[in-house]
């Protein structure tokens, strides 16, 4: 049975002006998987601006949501697999990330808090990342996706990705008092063979 999920505005960019890195592309490497096989999401980002000499240093985050968690699981994530911004390095799983973001990423035609029917997994960089104002360089975030052994053949699974900046204002890890800015989002359909 084919599933549909309305995600109005998923292609829209949101609140870029206060960020370090902005979305360049969202790529699901394989569009179809047999049960038990894997692929990756590649989220390419680049520094937003080089206009001032005070380069930004903030945590970067990625969220991945799937509408059929019985078919697909989200694995680990790596920051900057091309090695341009202190990578590659494993990203930290943050179970409370979506809740802490709240409505901070709602605007410009995109409402993260308004997306429903998705099971989310969040990640952050291990520390602040200096964007160095290198607008022509790309940082690639790689996130593992696996079709579970019991995945239902013929299903289409919606995969949604959101990336942005996290300002750890409290210094105590993820909380609703911190600052967040979403700088790009994308979606794709993954077919189960």
Rounded Cα gap, residues 4 and 43, in angstroms: 23
Residue 99 lies in a domain: yes
Domain coverage including residue 84: 21-49+57-192
Residues 31, 190: contact at Cβ < 8 Å? yes
Structure tokens at 113: 């808090």
Residue 8 lies in a domain: no
pLDDT of residue 124: 97
The pLDDT confidence band at residue 2, using thresholds 50, 70 and 90, is very low
pLDDT of residue 107: 82
Task: State the alpha helices, DSSP H only, in the chain.
Answer: 97-101
The pLDDT confidence band at residue 170, using thresholds 50, 70 and 90, is confident
Mean model confidence pLDDT for the chain:
87
Which range is most confident: 45-49, 56-60, 119-123, 178-182? 119-123
Rounded Cα gap, residues 160 and 119, in angstroms: 10
Please state the rounded mean pLDDT for residues 156-172.
Answer: 93
Residues 47, 20: contact at Cβ < 8 Å? yes
Please work out, in degrees rounded to the nearest 5, the angle formed at the alpha carbon of residue 78 by the alpha carbons of 77 and 79. Answer: 125
| Residue 93: pLDDT over 70 | yes
Q: What are the DSSP E strand ranges found in 52-138?
A: 57-66, 72-79, 89-90, 92-93, 106-107, 110-111, 119-124, 129-130
User: Higher pLDDT residue, 8 or 27?
Assistant: 27
Structure tokens at 182: 């979403």
Residues of the chain above pLDDT 70, percent: 87
Q: Running DSSP on this structure, what letter comes out for residue 133?
A: T
Residue 158 in 3-state DSSP?
strand
Residue 14 lies in a domain: no
pLDDT of residue 109: 81
Residue 140 lies in a domain: yes
User: Higher pLDDT residue, 40 or 172?
Assistant: 40
Residue 98 lies in a domain: yes
Residue 16 lies in a domain: no
pLDDT of residue 16: 36
Please state the rounded mean pLDDT for residues 125-154.
Answer: 94
- Residue 179: CATH number of its domain: 2.60.40.680
Residue 112 in 3-state DSSP?
helix
pTM of the predicted model over 0.95? no
Rounded Cα gap, residues 109 and 13, in angstroms: 8
172: Cβ–Cβ under 8 A, 6 or more apart, which residues?
none
127: Cβ–Cβ under 8 A, 6 or more apart, which residues?
59
Residue 69 lies in a domain: yes
The pLDDT confidence band at residue 22, using thresholds 50, 70 and 90, is very high
What is the domain count for the chain?
Answer: 1
The pLDDT confidence band at residue 26, using thresholds 50, 70 and 90, is very high
In degrees and rounded to multiples of 5, residue 97 shows phi and psi of -65, -50
Residue 30 lies in a domain: yes
Q: Among 41-45, 122-126, 130-134, 138-142, where is mean pLDDT lowest?
A: 130-134
């Amino acid at each position: 049975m084919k599933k549909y999920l309305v995600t109005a505005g998923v292609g829209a960019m949101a609140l870029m002006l206060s960020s370090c890195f902005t979305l360049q592309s969202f790529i699901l490497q394989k569009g179809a998987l047999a049960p038990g096989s894997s692929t990756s999401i590649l989220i390419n980002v680049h520094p937003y601006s080089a206009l001032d000499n005070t380069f930004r240093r903030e945590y970067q985050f990625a969220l991945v949501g799937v509408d059929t968690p019985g078919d697909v699981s989200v694995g680990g994530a790596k920051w900057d697999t091309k090695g341009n911004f202190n990578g590659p390095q494993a990203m930290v799983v943050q179970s409370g990330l979506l809740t802490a973001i709240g409505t901070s990423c709602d605007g410009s035609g995109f409402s993260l808090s308004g997306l429903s029917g998705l099971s989310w997994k969040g990640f952050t960089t291990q520390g602040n990342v200096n964007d160095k104002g290198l607008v022509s360089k790309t940082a690639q975030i790689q996130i593992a996706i696996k079709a579970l052994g019991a995945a239902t053949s013929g299903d289409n699974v919606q995969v949604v990705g959101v990336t942005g900046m996290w300002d750890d204002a409290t210094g105590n890890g993820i909380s609703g008092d911190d600052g967040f800015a979403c700088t790009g989002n994308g979606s794709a359909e993954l077919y189960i063979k």
